[in-house]
């Protein structure tokens, strides 16, 4: 989408001079993705829409092409290969009218216009609060009115939630296990197989070495944690906005308030406010909130930024102290002979929870 801010024809300070041209080709929709062809839709509004009704097609095409040429200069804009000019005022079913938001419009007016009166149901873009003044809004309202007519004739139609029920998980019985001098009976496919019961293998030299290494490593980590405590944890991200924190705390309160206002406006106790309506109300509440209400959220964001700024220094200092404690511990308490030379780098606890620590297997014999 793009548009033009038109200049007044005569006197820039005269509102009547600007009124006649401000809505002339003021807005364009690029419909290439929708139609599959290079298509632009130019819109008219106000007095310009009335004058177009009496202007010939050739003059309109020449004018809009020259406007596009000025917008995309120095690129050359060719004349369109096909043009469709609509004159809605001459359409007996439209008369050039569509809904718009007036200065006294209130929340819920579109929904009020969509309410049925007895057996009469209303449709049209003016009854679609989410997409007014659009063709798709008129289409959506038609689907809504049609469903209301069907319900009035057949009664409420129950739609299960969820629409497709979840499949119940079948309980698989646990197969019987029979003790046997030669082994244990298990099911494999369609054949019963007897697996022999073997004694556990004796521990190998590697297992013994690894156990000694892990025990010694645990002592080093214990010494580090006892003196320094846990490695500093990275705080929340610094990009937190005070308004987002306020929205998180006040969302459901504001939702209840908006639901009550909408129900009172349209006379339907089951009416619910949309997400955009709640966001709009929260934005207004934040903008008009007192300094006392805003201060805690602003301070939380400032504290988060300060914590993030100090985090790298804290981690760097902690790592340096941990390396020093590790070195001193190894000097005072030499590791077992079989695993010496394997404790020179930081372990998993010194890397932090997000990184992989030193491998404890494969020590020298």
Structure confidence by residue, pLDDT tens digits, 171-207 = 655 555 444 555 555 544 444 445 555 666 666 556 6
Q: Which residues lie below 8 Å from residue 211, measured CB to CB, with a gap of 6+?
A: none
Q: How confident is the model at residue 88 (pLDDT cuts 50, 70, 90)?
A: confident
Which tokens go with 259? 């639901």
Q: Rounded to an integer, what distance in angstroms lies between the CA atom of residue 124 and that of residue 327?
A: 79
Q: 30 or 188: whose pLDDT is higher?
A: 30
With CA atoms as reference, report the closest residue to 326 among 308, 349, 304, 295. 349
Looking at 5-14, 38-47, 331-340, which range is the least confident one?
A: 5-14
Please say whether the beta carbons of 266 and 108 come within 8 A: yes
pTM of the predicted structure, to 2 decimals: 0.37
Q: 109-154: which CATH topology?
A: Arc Repressor Mutant, subunit A (1.10.10)
With CA atoms as reference, report the closest residue to 347 among 257, 175, 220, 256. 220
Contacts by residues 209-215 (CB-CB < 8 Å, ≥ 24 positions apart): 209/338, 209/339, 209/363, 209/365, 210/360, 210/361, 210/363, 212/336, 212/338, 212/339, 213/335, 213/339, 213/342, 213/360, 213/361, 213/363, 214/360
* pLDDT value for 360: 43
DSSP per-residue letters across 98-146: -----TT--TTHHHHHTS-BTTB---SGGG-SSSTTSHHHHHHHHHHHH
Across 54-58, 165-169, 208-212, the highest mean pLDDT is recorded for 54-58
* pLDDT value for 97: 75
Kindly list the domain boundaries of the chain, sorted by start residue: 2-90, 109-154, 209-351
Percent of the chain with pLDDT over 90: 14
């Amino acid at each position: 989408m793009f548009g033009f801010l038109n200049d007044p024809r005569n006197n820039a300070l005269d509102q009547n001079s600007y009124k006649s041209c401000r809505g002339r080709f003021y807005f364009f929709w690029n419909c290439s993705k929708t139609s599959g062809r290079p298509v632009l839709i130019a819109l008219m509004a106000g007095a310009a829409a009335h004058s177009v009704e009496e202007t010939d097609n050739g003059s309109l095409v020449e004018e809009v092409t020259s406007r596009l040429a000025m917008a995309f200069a120095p690129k050359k804009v060719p004349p369109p290969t096909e043009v469709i000019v609509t004159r809605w005022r001459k359409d007996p079913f439209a008369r050039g009218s569509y809904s718009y938001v007036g200065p006294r419009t209130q929340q819920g007016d579109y929904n009020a216009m969509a309410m049925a009166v007895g057996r009469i149901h209303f449709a049209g873009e003016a009854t679609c609060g989410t997409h007014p003044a659009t063709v798709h809004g008129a289409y959506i309202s038609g689907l809504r009115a049609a469903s209301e007519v069907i319900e009035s004739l057949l009664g409420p139609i129950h739609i299960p939630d969820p629409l497709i029920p979840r499949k119940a998980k079948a309980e698989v019985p646990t197969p019987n296990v029979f003790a046997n001098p030669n082994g244990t009976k298990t099911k494999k496919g369609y054949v019963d197989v007897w697996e022999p019961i073997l004694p556990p293998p004796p521990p190998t030299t590697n297992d013994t070495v690894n156990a000694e290494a892990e025990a010694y490593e645990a002592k080093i980590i214990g010494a580090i944690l006892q003196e320094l405590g846990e490695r500093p944890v990275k705080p929340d991200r610094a990009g937190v906005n005070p308004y987002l924190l306020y929205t998180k705390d006040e969302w459901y309160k504001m939702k209840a308030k908006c639901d009550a206002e909408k129900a009172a406006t349209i006379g339907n106790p089951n009416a619910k406010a949309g997400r955009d309506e709640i966001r709009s109300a929260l934005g207004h509440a934040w903008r008009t909130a007192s300094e006392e209400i805003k201060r805690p959220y602003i301070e939380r964001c400032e504290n988060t930024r300060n914590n993030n700024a100090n985090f790298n220094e804290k981690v760097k200092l902690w790592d340096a102290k941990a390396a020093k404690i590790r070195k001193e511990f190894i000097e005072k308490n030499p590791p077992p002979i079989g695993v010496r030379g394997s404790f020179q780098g930081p372990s998993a606890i010194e890397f932090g929870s997000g990184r992989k620590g030193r491998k404890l297997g494969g020590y020298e014999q």
